[in-house]
């Protein structure tokens, strides 16, 4: 299973747009794709036309099993939503004495092999949740931000 994070420390550069369109394009080509939103803004769900009752935060805290939190957005495309509840998850991860960077990887283990590709939309910055996503991902799509004069 290919796991690609779309990451950049700056906001407003098209991470969510890239993640949603990449996921939709791969799904249109017949791949089984899971789009995971790890941003507290939760824009990937809105862009996919979904409204989720539970998402990544609830899966990582074991309140909901991963299959029950994923929504089918369209043919071959499923979503694990982000949103405001991720703010609490970030605090929980930061309080762990050991292994906090593996919280998302451990929570998503039941999904291993169910999809061809996982696309991960990240929040701007390098907080504990973004670090978790980077530990889970097998590759990162990013471009360093440079000011141009």
What is the pLDDT of the chain when averaged over all its residues?
A: 90
**Runs of H (alpha helix) within the chain:** 15-28, 43-47, 56-60, 66-69, 85-95, 103-108, 128-136
| CATH H-level superfamily of 2-141 | P-loop containing nucleotide triphosphate hydrolases (3.40.50.300)
pLDDT band at 143 (very low <50, low <70, confident <90, very high): low
With 0-12 CB in 10 A as exposed, 13-18 as middle and 19+ as buried, what is 93? buried
Tell whether the model's pLDDT for residue 95 goes beyond 70.
yes
- How far is Cα 106 from Cα 87, in angstroms, rounded to an integer? 19
Mean pLDDT of 37-59: 89
Q: Is the CB of residue 136 less than 8 Å from the CB of residue 120? A: yes
pLDDT at residue 55 is higher than 70? yes
pLDDT given at position 51: 84
pLDDT of residue 140: 93
The pTM is what?
Answer: 0.90
Instruction: Say how far apart CA 70 and CA 93 lie, in whole Å.
Output: 22
pLDDT tens for residues 66-94? 999 999 999 999 999 999 999 999 998 88
């Amino acid at each position: 299973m290919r796991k690609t994070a779309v990451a950049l420390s700056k906001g407003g550069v098209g991470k969510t747009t890239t993640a949603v369109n990449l996921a939709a394009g791969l799904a249109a080509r017949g791949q089984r794709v899971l789009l995971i939103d790890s941003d507290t803004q939760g824009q990937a769900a809105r862009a996919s036309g979904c409204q989720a009752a539970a998402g990544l935060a609830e899966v990582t805290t074991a309140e909901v099993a991963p299959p029950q939190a994923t929504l089918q957005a369209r043919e071959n495309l499923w979503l694990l939503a982000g949103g405001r509840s991720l703010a609490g998850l970030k605090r929980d991860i930061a309080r762990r004495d050991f292994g906090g960077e593996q919280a998302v990887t451990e929570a998503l283990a039941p999904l291993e092999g169910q999809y061809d590709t996982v696309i991960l939309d990240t929040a701007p910055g390098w907080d504990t949740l973004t670090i978790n996503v980077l530990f889970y991902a097998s590759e990162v799509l990013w471009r360093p931000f440079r000011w141009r004069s």
